[in-house]
Chain A
Amino acid sequence: MSVLTDFFYGFSIALQPWNLLSCFIGVFIGTLVGVLPGIGPAGAMSLLLPVTFGMSPVTGIIMLAGIYYGTMYGGSTTSILVNIPGEAASIVTCLDGHQMALKGRAGPALGIAAFGSFIAGTGCIIGLIFMTNALAGVALVFGPTEYFSLMCLGLSLVTYLTQGSILRGLVMAGVGLFLSQIGQDVVTGQTRFSFGLRGLIDGVGLVPVIMGLFGISEVLLNIETLGEQRTIMKTSFRHLFPTWEDWRKSAAPIGRGTIIGFFLGILPGGGALISSFVSYAAEKWFSKHPEEFGKGAIEGVAGPESANNAASTSGFIPLFSLGIPSNVIMALLLGALMIHGLKPGPLMITERPDVFWGTVASMYVGNAMLLMLNLPLIGLWVQVLKVPYRTLFPLILLFCFIGAYSISANVFDLYVMLIVGVLGYVLRKKNYECAPLVLAFVLGPMMEKNVRQALILFDGNLSVFITRPLSLAALVIAVLLLLTAVIPFVQKRRSEVIVEDD
């Protein structure tokens, strides 16, 4: 009963005019970003992060969260109509969604993607409410050793699941960890690794790093294919509502996708991309006609689209309950919460119920808005797709510059963003993934604080990390994950999955 009361309290926050407006702006921009190939949710969220500084924390977080789950909706539009995933998590939707469009069934494909996402989002919000509360209760007994080990586990999972070589992922995590050490030491207050540059005394800013890695480098990568033309389906959008037969076929995939997405979204490194692939594989396995997959099976759209939306919602659970981000987007949200002076973790639910319950309730409101936005506005999104990248990329670059500058009105941040952007471009060309770097960069200060606290607390006794059960379990899993990746069979299977992802 208490949960229900809290949830209604959340609605009273989410339905306030400013919060409602920020939710709408968030999901609208999210859908736009999802539709447009060449900019992802991380880039869009970092672009809009400075805009939230003038808002109350809850209003800002509602908008940023809206962008994230909004992209999941928008990504399906490009996958179905253009066969280009607007967002990585919609890659798998291309397989059957575009085939449906080619057969003149673009409407039902878009419709089931939107309805499936709504149902999954709604289901996951209920799960989020109960699970976050339960986890937060457990997390209250966690000490610095457990937190440090859990962060190590999260980092190793993200590294394990990155595309390409694990070694490269580990290097990126190391670089992120080092970058996070630049600036003042939390214990002694000593300035370190600033190389005499005044701009580095406070450390490297999160926003310039994110914008460099996900904004500038993404644009530089896309500039290479500037001349390529997109072919957009000429199809009727009159019949967006799936038929009864479509619903009959899609009901179970939506249910399974919701469950798969929910649990994979909680896991560090899991997220929307993996869950959409697992859901597709599951649907193919459960189907009586697996041969229809890849030729326009509606189950191949309903399952993955539900799964990616569910995962994007359940990803908030470890962030809100433990204060540990499960992926790059959550790392960015963690950064945003900290900029707003909030400390995500088990105490946040009791200390700032307005932020927690307001954000949770806004997700429900946002999902309803997305359903209303996506179906009638599909014509508009198709028009947006026609905007050539030549026109789009200067605007993305401009927003990156405004975002990085407006954080502290300092040109130094622009240089940092540019350097990180060009380095990010080179590294991505060399098959290095940016996700472990960003996660390590955000987790770095927390890891440092916890490891130093633990060592001081237990008189320099390193065995404390392996004598406490939860810490031991997290560390063992982390090490095993990295070791199993070296075993040839696992390595082969992993690379196959990753190549399929690509």
Chain B
Amino acid sequence: MPLGRASESFSLPPWKRIMAKAMVEKQREMSEGIFWVVIGGMICILALQYGLGSFRAPGPGFVAFLSGILIGGVGAVMILSKSISMGRAKETTRGADLGIPAVSRGRLAYTIMFLLAYAILMDPLGYILSTFLVMFGLFFDWEKRNWFWSAFFPITVSLVSYLVFEVWLRCQLPHGILPWW
């Protein structure tokens, strides 16, 4: 929320703030319901394309259609009900804080980026090299910037995990540009 709007809302009397919060909550739940109705509808359309068959001979889309009905139907109930958590005022232990803490956002984005890079690089670079690079990125402590430990852990992890999974357990890991490994 922009600073101006935040300070504006703080200037409101308490009952108005509670009302405003309830409205936001209700809108969010409404949009949640709409989202599931759309998803359910899309699944039903897809299922229809594959054929529902008849009750005597159900087709490939029969159960998927039922799942679409279930998702869309529940979404519709979400929209229709006054509130999803009606009568469950306490049900906000984790759900209340739906946003990601500001300090964690960078860390999360950074981790997901490395995981995506791992999936992309694993085949072309091979297991050992890609694992070293990704582990280096994930182990690296940006506060202490200890290069020795940041390099030592990834090298050890890459080699030991290769030994355990590829050599001992015979898992098929990609060799990439290091074909002899």
Contacts and interface: CB of A to CB of B under 8 A. Distances in A.
Interface of A: 50-51, 54, 164-165, 167-168, 170-171, 173-175, 177-178, 181, 185, 187-188, 190, 192-193, 216, 219-220, 223-227, 390-391, 393-395, 397-398, 401-402, 405-406, 409, 411, 414-415, 418, 421-422, 428-431, 444, 447-448, 451-452, 455-456, 459-462, 488, 491-492, 495-496, 498-499, 502
Interface of B is mostly: helix
B139 interface: yes
Contacts of B169: 51, 54
Contact of B55 (A174, A460, A498): A460
Contact of A444 (B63, B118, B141): B63
Contact of A402 (B87, B134, B173): B173
Given A192-B61, A398-B135, A398-B161, 20 more contacts: A50-B171, A165-B85, A170-B74, A177-B64, A177-B66, A185-B60, A192-B60, A193-B46, A193-B64, A223-B104, A224-B101, A227-B103, A390-B141, A394-B134, A411-B119, A431-B91, A431-B95, A452-B58, A462-B55, A495-B90
B84 A168 contact: yes
B43 A492 contact: no
B70 A170 contact: yes
Most buried by A among B63, B93, B98: B63
30 contacts: A51-B169, A164-B91, A164-B95, A167-B84, A171-B71, A174-B74, A177-B63, A177-B66, A193-B46, A223-B104, A223-B107, A226-B104, A226-B107, A227-B103, A390-B141, A402-B171, A406-B165, A406-B172, A418-B112, A421-B115, A429-B100, A430-B32, A430-B98, A431-B91, A431-B94, A444-B63, A452-B62, A455-B55, A460-B54, A460-B57
B58 A175 contact: no
B96 to A, nearest CB: 9
Contacts of A170: 70, 74
A394 B138 contact: yes
Interface string B122-136: 110000000100110
A248 B103 CA distance: 50
B77 interface: yes
Contact of A398 (B56, B62, B75, B157): B157
Contacts of B41: none
B172 to A, nearest CB: 4
Closest 8 CB pairs of A and B: A460-B55, A460-B56, A431-B95, A174-B71, A394-B138, A406-B171, A185-B60, A177-B67
A192 B50 contact: yes
Contacts of A54: 169-170
A411 B119 CA distance: 7
Contacts of A224: 100-101, 104, 107-108
Contacts of B131: 398
B85 to A, nearest CB: 6
A406 B162 CA distance: 12
Given A174-B71, A452-B58, A409 B174 contact: yes
Nearest to B81: A167
Contacts of B116: 418
Nearest to A402: B165
Contact of A393 (B91, B138, B161): B138
B43 to A, nearest CB: 5
A175 B36 CA distance: 10
A145 to B, nearest CB: 14
Most buried by B among A394, A406, A421, A498: A394
Contacts of B90: 495-496, 499
Contacts of A448: 62-63
A411 B122 contact: yes
B63 A455 contact: no
Contacts of B64: 177-178, 181, 192-193
Contact of A406 (B68, B157, B173): B173
B78 interface: yes
Contact of A414 (B74, B107, B119): B119
A491 B141 CA distance: 46
B108 A223 contact: yes
A401 B71 contact: no
Contact of A181 (B63, B85, B119, B123): B63
Contacts of A401: 115, 118-119, 122
B181 interface: no
Nearest to A186: B60
Contact of A456 (B57, B115, B139): B57
B146 to A, nearest CB: 12
B63 A451 contact: yes
Contacts of B62: 448, 451-452
B172 A409 contact: yes
B93 to A, nearest CB: 4
A174 B84 contact: no
Nearest to A425: B108
B175 to A, nearest CB: 11
A418 B107 CA distance: 16
Most buried by A among B46, B71, B173: B71
Nearest to B58: A452
A177 B70 contact: yes
Contacts of A414: 118-119, 122
A460 B57 CA distance: 7
A173 B122 CA distance: 33
Contacts of A459: 56
A491 B87 contact: yes
Contacts of A496: 90
B153 interface: yes
Most buried by A among B55, B74, B100: B74
B31 to A, nearest CB: 11
A5 B108 CA distance: 55
B111 interface: yes
B55 A178 contact: no
